[in-house]
Amino acid sequence: MVKRQDLEIKNPWWRGNEFVVPERNLPKRDMYFVLEKNLTHSLILNIVGLRRVGKSTIQKQLINHLLVQKKVAPNNVFYFLFDYSSQIQKAEFLDEVLSFYFKEIIDKPSLDFDNIVYVFLDEIQYIENWQSILKKYYDLSNKKIKFIVTGSQSILLKGKNHESLAGRVFDYYLPPLSFREFIKIREEKIDNLEEYDLFEIPKVFGKLTQFDIYNAKKINELSREYIISGQFPETKNLELPEQRCEYIAESVIGKIQDDCIRIFNVEKRDEFKLFTRQLLNNVSSLFELTNISREIEASKKTLENYLEYLKESYVIEVLYRNHKSLIKRGRTLKKIYTPCINFTCALNHYTERSIDEVPQAFGKIIENIIYNTLVLKYGKDNISFWRNKDKEIDFLLEKNKRKLAIEVKFSNNINLKELTPLINYIKKKDVEYGVVVTKNEISRKEVHGRTIYFIPYYLILMMI
């Protein structure tokens, strides 16, 4: 049974306008400003993403914006956090919570509101068939209820039930912190670098070189912390690397695995966790489920299911080989990546020193973080990799019918022979230039009549 005192604890601003939302002073993620602008239209806002990336904080900051800047009546702002361990998970529970709020708090059981009512529902994936309940209230209120919901399991936030909200909901994916956001949260004073398009490198290469001269040392240092443990806002408050590693391994990866095991009724817990570790330890690599199934002695069908669970939980992403046919692309070779490279570093207890001590591992890790950065800028559908027999190019970008080939070489000395596939590709496809992501080299070279730009990984993270 819903009790008034339980709701008041979660909504302390109902006690009066003097209450201050503590999260208002925390740095705002880029997504906050997008959502703030969209508070004015009627669609339901659905914020999805990994645990601990800041979804709840954004909700609280939006609440503060409504109360302080927009002067919304405190009772017209409602927040509720759903918790699997302590609450009933049936749709009827959500219905009861909302009904109680409209009837007892704002005295409008008929949903005949004079002003917009803002309802923030946090971790709503724990409620079965939540979409049908929101649809009911959304339609009955004549769009006078503005729902802002969050969740950490995309399969529970979409699927068949999501169709009932067609035309009523807009989904926003909140990724782990970008490198720019990490620097902002750390409140580091660094020369500002504009965002640049990799397809315009010839025009901005001089500016990149100038920026690197004055900022390389500091940016390089920050990038190391970011890659090891800086993709979650809360790690800023943990001083020791061991604490940050433990936080990511237990409070993020561990909780995600527990959620998957519970939600998808995974019977073999250890097998699922072993599979997760196997993938995270082999990021940026070609993968074949048949081979993995032999290694961990699990059926290929079972692993296919596990992979879907991890994809739906924002732990794993798959990159496909470049192919003209989208259907055939899905059947060809694939590479595995994680949206959060901190996972791989935490599971292996890597520190910033490991970047130099285990270079063979960090070549893959740097490739993964470049993949993440490219996805944020250009979207997954515009990225693939090229492979012909044993020759490979890490990334092919496509934009407005233009192509760009990118190779990641995380080493101090790059042998031009290693770039043969890249050079041959841009010559054959008549691509204007290629990009090599380096450890610290920034230069422009003419190789066999083609221009190659060598750009340090930390500049790629900053520029896009």
Q: What is the dihedral of CA 197, 412, 219, 354, to 10 degrees?
A: 120
**Which of 174, 192, 211 is a domain's end point?**
174
Distance in angstroms (rounded) separating the CA atoms of residues 377 and 372:
9
Q: What is residue 294's predicted lDDT score, i.e. its pLDDT?
A: 93
Return the closest-CA partner of residue 458 out of 434, 443, 439: 439
Three-point CA angle 432, 210, 360, nearest 5°: 70
What's the whole-number average pLDDT of the chain?
A: 92
Return the closest-CA partner of residue 44 out of 152, 138, 162, 142: 138
Instruction: Please indicate, yes or no, whether residues 193 and 308 belong to a single structural domain of this protein.
Output: yes
192: confidence class by pLDDT, cuts 50, 70, 90: confident
Instruction: Please indicate, yes or no, whether residues 145 and 241 belong to a single structural domain of this protein.
Output: no
Q: Are 126 and 85 in contact (CB under 8 A)?
A: no
Instruction: Please indicate, yes or no, whether residues 325 and 457 belong to a single structural domain of this protein.
Output: yes
Lowest-pLDDT choice from 185-194, 206-215, 260-269: 185-194
Instruction: Please indicate, yes or no, whether residues 51 and 187 belong to a single structural domain of this protein.
Output: no
Q: For 284-333, give the DSSP string.
A: TEE--HHHHHHHHT--HHHHHHHHHHHHHTTS-EEEEBP-S-HHHHHHS-
Residue length of the chain: 464
Instruction: Please indicate, yes or no, whether residues 279 and 404 belong to a single structural domain of this protein.
Output: yes
Structural domain of residue 319, as residue ranges?
181-463
Q: What is residue 359's predicted lDDT score, i.e. its pLDDT?
A: 84
Q: What is the mean pLDDT of residues 227-233?
A: 97
Distance in angstroms (rounded) separating the CA atoms of residues 48 and 46:
6
Instruction: Please indicate, yes or no, whether residues 78 and 217 belong to a single structural domain of this protein.
Output: no
**Which of 174, 201, 230 is a domain's end point?**
174
The residues near 11 (Cβ < 8 Å, ≥ 6 apart) are 74, 77, 78, 79
pLDDT tens digits for range 333-362 = 899 999 999 999 999 999 999 998 888 889
Q: Are strands 402-408 and 433-438 parallel, antiparallel or unpaired?
A: parallel
pLDDT tens digits for range 376-433 = 999 999 999 999 999 999 999 999 999 999 999 998 789 889 999 999 999 999 999 9
Instruction: Please indicate, yes or no, whether residues 157 and 248 belong to a single structural domain of this protein.
Output: no
Q: What is the mean pLDDT of residues 302-328?
A: 88
- Give the total number of structural domains in the chain: 2
Task: Calculate the alpha carbon distances from 269 to 57, 69, 236, 254, 275 in Å.
Answer: 31, 48, 31, 12, 10
Q: What is residue 159's predicted lDDT score, i.e. its pLDDT?
A: 47
Instruction: Please indicate, yes or no, whether residues 351 and 412 belong to a single structural domain of this protein.
Output: yes
**Which of 123, 150, 174 is a domain's end point?**
174
Instruction: Please indicate, yes or no, whether residues 329 and 386 belong to a single structural domain of this protein.
Output: yes
449: confidence class by pLDDT, cuts 50, 70, 90: confident
Q: What is residue 86's predicted lDDT score, i.e. its pLDDT?
A: 60
- % of the chain exceeding 70 in pLDDT: 94
| Domain CATH for 31 | 3.40.50.300
Q: What is the mean pLDDT of residues 363-384?
A: 96
Instruction: Please indicate, yes or no, whether residues 113 and 155 belong to a single structural domain of this protein.
Output: yes
Judged against a pLDDT cut of 70, whether residue 162 lies above it is answered with no
Q: What is residue 160's predicted lDDT score, i.e. its pLDDT?
A: 47
Q: What is the mean pLDDT of residues 30-57?
A: 95
Instruction: Please indicate, yes or no, whether residues 255 and 114 belong to a single structural domain of this protein.
Output: no
Instruction: Please indicate, yes or no, whether residues 119 and 215 belong to a single structural domain of this protein.
Output: no
Judged against a pLDDT cut of 70, whether residue 156 lies above it is answered with no
